[in-house]
A = this chain, B = another copy of it.
Amino acid sequence: MISIESKFTRLATDDAPGQEVRQNTEHLKGLLRGDKLPGTPVDFSHGDVNANAFAPTPGALGEFVRGVERGGEQAYTEYRGGAELREQLASRLAGFTGAPLSGANEVIITPGTQGALYLALAATVSAGDKVAIVRPDYFANRKIVEFLGGVLVPVAMDYLGRTAEAGLDLVQLEDAFKAGVKTFLFSNPNNPAGVIYSRTEIERIAQLANSYGATVIVDELYSRLLYPGRDYTHLRATGMDPANVITIMGPSKTESLSGYRLGVAFGAAKIIDRMEKLQAIVSLRAPGYCQAVLRTWFAEPDGWMAQRIAQHQAIRDDLLEVLGSVEGVVARAPEAGSYLFPRLPKLCVDLQTFVRILRHQASVTVTPGTEFSPDATDSIRLNFSQNHRAAVQALGRAAELVDRYRA
């Protein structure tokens, strides 16, 4: 039995995105080379939702206000979210993913996709259960499994070595199932690498999960922001047993609605039922008035999403050009979403220290790769959903510091 003390030590958030303000920089003295680099601060740990970057979906606040005006019926929904809204979402999500969905029984609205992830894992994983997760993948996946007392079984993804697929090691995945893994969790597009799993990879995952009777939780948070020419396969629209798959999405990223804390999980009714029971004691429900904002989701103005994708693509390409000019940096162009996960050359300070130096000397906040994989000691994640000009300049400053601290 693990002590509660060590359980929480493992949950350390010191280097987690957004928590940097709680760090102090005393220990950097003596390590610093050269002066501070002036420029507009950019926080690449999350997207910028301000008006000069990527503002929330048009009409979101209006729907919120109308929700407040509806009063009690909007404030006190079922724990799983308002019934009418779930029907509307089910129809839209069935259309988007290409497989049928029941609003009554197969959808739950949660406080952010973070809430959905936690509930989905807690509804499927007990202490001692083996859970397969990808390296690298979203940092909270590992932490949630550990908090629940699950046993992590990592599966490698060679995202830098491939181009036509994400690079999941499917042999390792099968070995994990053979070793008793009953839950597999992964993000697609991958966070942090921005790569999309190929149809072949997704179909193989479905086949393996069916063979071994495993549950798969797939975080498709970024699946709407696909760059031109990219195909995307929804696991739930393959041969995967529908009783064993939960899909998670939400409007916090592409749609810039994070401030409303909304996520959606959909799929297997039995797991959704459990998630609702747990939500009842964890947070009761997604904020009632905020739920109303989901009415704008998948109902954005014509052309809005296409424009948003084009804007992100332009930033992505400029940032890749900056990275390409730095000797020793290796980056794969993201195929979806707004994350870049470049590998840096060998530096004279460790990754955590370099990340703090970036913040201190260049006003650039990034997330160390080790949040996503213990192996990623040489990578940083950047969310490039930022003001275009500021982002390019900030990455230029980061490049200058890579040179300055090169080993």
Name A's B-contacting residues (CB within 8 A). Answer: 1-4, 7-8, 11-13, 16, 18-19, 21-22, 46, 48-51, 53, 55-56, 61, 64-65, 67-68, 71-72, 74-79, 83, 111-112, 114-115, 117-118, 123-128, 140, 143-144, 147, 149, 258-261, 273-274, 276-278, 280-290
**Beta-carbon contact of B61 and A75 below 8 Å:** no
A96 CB to closest chain B CB (Å) equals: 24
**Beta-carbon contact of B13 and A126 below 8 Å:** no
**Beta-carbon contact of A21 and B78 below 8 Å:** yes
A8-B274, A277-B11, A277-B13 given as contacts; is B284 within 8 A of A114 (CB)?
A: yes
A385 CB to closest chain B CB (Å) equals: 11
Complex Cα gap A95–B284 (Å): 29
**Beta-carbon contact of A282 and B281 below 8 Å:** no
The oligomer's copy count stands at 2
Residues of B within 8 A of A49 (CB): 71-72, 75-76
**Beta-carbon contact of B128 and A1 below 8 Å:** yes
Contact of A3 among B68, B124, B126, B261 (CB under 8 A): B126
What are 9 A-B contacts defined by CB distance under 8 Å? A1-B127, A18-B77, A19-B79, A48-B72, A49-B72, A114-B282, A114-B284, A117-B281, A261-B290
**Beta-carbon contact of A260 and B282 below 8 Å:** no
**Beta-carbon contact of A79 and B13 below 8 Å:** yes
**Beta-carbon contact of B79 and A68 below 8 Å:** no
For A46, give the chain B residue with the smallest CB separation. Answer: B76
**Beta-carbon contact of B4 and A124 below 8 Å:** yes
Contact of A289 among B11, B51, B127, B260 (CB under 8 A): B260
For A8, give the chain B residue with the smallest CB separation. Answer: B274
For A45, give the chain B residue with the smallest CB separation. Answer: B76
**Beta-carbon contact of B258 and A75 below 8 Å:** yes
**Beta-carbon contact of B8 and A277 below 8 Å:** yes
**Beta-carbon contact of A114 and B50 below 8 Å:** no
**Beta-carbon contact of A261 and B48 below 8 Å:** no
A16-B280, A287-B287 given as contacts; is B261 within 8 A of A111 (CB)?
A: yes
Output the residue of A111, A123, A289 with the most chain B CB within 10 A.
Answer: A289
Residues of B within 8 A of A273 (CB): 8
Residues of B within 8 A of A281 (CB): 11, 114, 117-118, 140, 143-144, 147
For A288, give the chain B residue with the smallest CB separation. Answer: B259
Complex Cα gap A18–B74 (Å): 12
**Beta-carbon contact of B282 and A115 below 8 Å:** yes
Complex Cα gap A96–B83 (Å): 39
Complex Cα gap A27–B368 (Å): 58
**Beta-carbon contact of A283 and B13 below 8 Å:** no
**Beta-carbon contact of A76 and B124 below 8 Å:** no
| Given A140-B281, A261-B287, A282-B282, 7 extra CB contacts under 8 A | A7-B126, A8-B277, A48-B72, A61-B65, A75-B258, A143-B281, A144-B281
